[in-house]
């Protein structure tokens, strides 16, 4: 490949057109990878179940320095804990400036379920499980371990990518339960213990406006988000190149892309699920 190529006509035009073609190629490659990943899920279930179980264990507890601070569960729990108390702090103070601080319970039931829990869970998933997957796969790619897998006859996409997508979906269900419960609990704790609202008032408004259908849709959003995030992160891990710095850059780029993708997924799902009328009735 190092042989000198003759210079071509119209170099500027060529580079401009070639650049736009290249970005199209990148999109095509990504789409092909995602398609292959989803199709290969059946191979993952048939052939690589042991690896799947190992990945589930690894994702839920995490490895290295993250395991020392409690792993993915602790990170997700902490983020939603802080968001719940933010709802308590901002909600209580803002509502009490209108004299309607009784509605803080409502803010928790409404905003946490529909808006905050999915978004924060997406951020936490991208940062912990997702970025970890990119780091692992990127290092494997740099060390040519992925090529080695192909050589010994293991389907690398099914073994590494599809398995991670499935494991991500399985892990996200208990994680999302933890996320919702900590967010609700910390909003209640902040409002009733720190700001001293009576628990009866809080619980009344909380339970009145907690809609079970919304909760189920919220779970659905989290699962779709997990699929999207894991696919983006495995793609960037697979396509890492350029030595140690390349792995780091791939992690950064994947976090950026998956955050944007996750937020867009939540937005469009919310628009699709709740519609323009919002499926919400304050009057009951």
Partner 1 sequence: MTRFDDEVAVTAEIAHGNSHPERLAAVSTLECPDDGVNTAGESSWATRFDVGLARISTAKGAKPVRALGGFFAMALDTFVLIPRRPFAWREFLLQCWFVARVSLLPTMLLAIPLDVLLIFTFNILIMDFGAADYSGTGAAWGTVTQVGPVVTVLVVSGAGATAMCADLGARTIREELDALRVMGVNPIQALVVPRVLAATVVATLLSSVVILVGLIGCFVFSVYVQHVVPGSFVASLTTITHAADLVVSWIKAAVFGLSAGLIACYKGISVGGGPAGVGIAVNETVVFTFVALFAINIVATAVGVKVTI
In the list 37, 104, 136, 239, the residue contacting partner 1 (rule: CB under 8 A) is 136
In the list 16, 69, 181, 216, the residue contacting partner 1 (rule: CB under 8 A) is 69
Which 238-277 residues touch partner 1, going by CB under 8 A? 243-253, 255-256, 259-260, 263-264, 266-267, 270-271, 274, 276-277
- CA-nearest of 42, 88, 48, 37 to 234 is 37
User: Cα–Cα distance between 123 and 125 in angstroms, integer?
Assistant: 6
How far apart are CB 134 and partner 1 at their closest, in Å? 7
In the list 52, 55, 59, 79, the residue contacting partner 1 (rule: CB under 8 A) is 79
User: Cα–Cα distance between 219 and 123 in angstroms, integer?
Assistant: 15
How far apart are CB 24 and partner 1 at their closest, in Å? 18
How far apart are CB 100 and partner 1 at their closest, in Å? 11
CA dist 100 to 75, 97, 106, 175, 201, Å?
33, 8, 11, 33, 12
Interface with partner 1 includes 99 (CB under 8 A)? no
Which 11-40 residues touch partner 1, going by CB under 8 A? none
User: Cα–Cα distance between 126 and 257 in angstroms, integer?
Assistant: 10
User: Judged by CB, which is closer to partner 1: 83, or 170?
Assistant: 83
In the list 33, 95, 111, 219, the residue contacting partner 1 (rule: CB under 8 A) is 111
Q: Which two tokens stand for residue 85?
A: 């108390």
- CA-nearest of 62, 34, 43 to 238 is 34
User: Cα–Cα distance between 247 and 83 in angstroms, integer?
Assistant: 31
Q: Which range touches partner 1 (CB under 8 A), out of 29-37, 126-134, 148-156, 162-170?
A: 126-134
């Amino acid at each position: 490949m190092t042989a000198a190529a003759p210079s071509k006509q119209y170099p500027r035009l060529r580079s401009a057109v070639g650049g736009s073609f290249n970005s199209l190629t990148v999109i095509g490659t990504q789409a092909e990878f995602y398609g292959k990943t989803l199709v290969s899920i059946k191979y993952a279930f048939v052939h690589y179940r042991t690896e799947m179980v190992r990945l589930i264990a690894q994702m839920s507890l995490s490895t290295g320095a993250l395991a020392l601070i409690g792993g993915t569960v602790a990170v997700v729990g902490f983020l939603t804990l802080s968001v719940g108390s933010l709802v308590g702090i901002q909600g209580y103070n803002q509502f009490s400036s209108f004299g309607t601080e009784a509605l803080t319970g409502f803010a928790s039931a409404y905003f946490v379920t529909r808006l905050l829990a999915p978004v924060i869970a997406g951020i936490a998933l991208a940062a912990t499980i997702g970025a970890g997957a990119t780091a692992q796969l990127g290092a494997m790619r740099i060390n040519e371990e992925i090529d080695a897998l192909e050589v010994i006859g293991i389907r690398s996409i099914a073994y590494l990518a599809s398995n991670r997508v499935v494991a991500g979906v399985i892990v996200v269900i208990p994680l999302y339960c933890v996320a919702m419960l900590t967010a609700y609990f910390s909003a209640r704790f902040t409002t009733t213990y720190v700001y001293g609202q009576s628990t009866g008032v809080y619980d009344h408004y909380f339970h009145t406006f907690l809609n079970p259908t919304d909760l189920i849709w919220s779970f659905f959003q989290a699962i779709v988000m997990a699929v999207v995030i894991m696919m983006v992160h495995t793609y960037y891990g697979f396509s890492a190149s350029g030595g140690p710095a390349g792995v780091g850059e791939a992690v950064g780029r994947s976090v950026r892309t998956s955050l944007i993708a996750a937020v867009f997924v939540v937005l469009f799902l919310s628009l699709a699920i709740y519609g323009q009328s919002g499926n919400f009735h304050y009057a009951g």
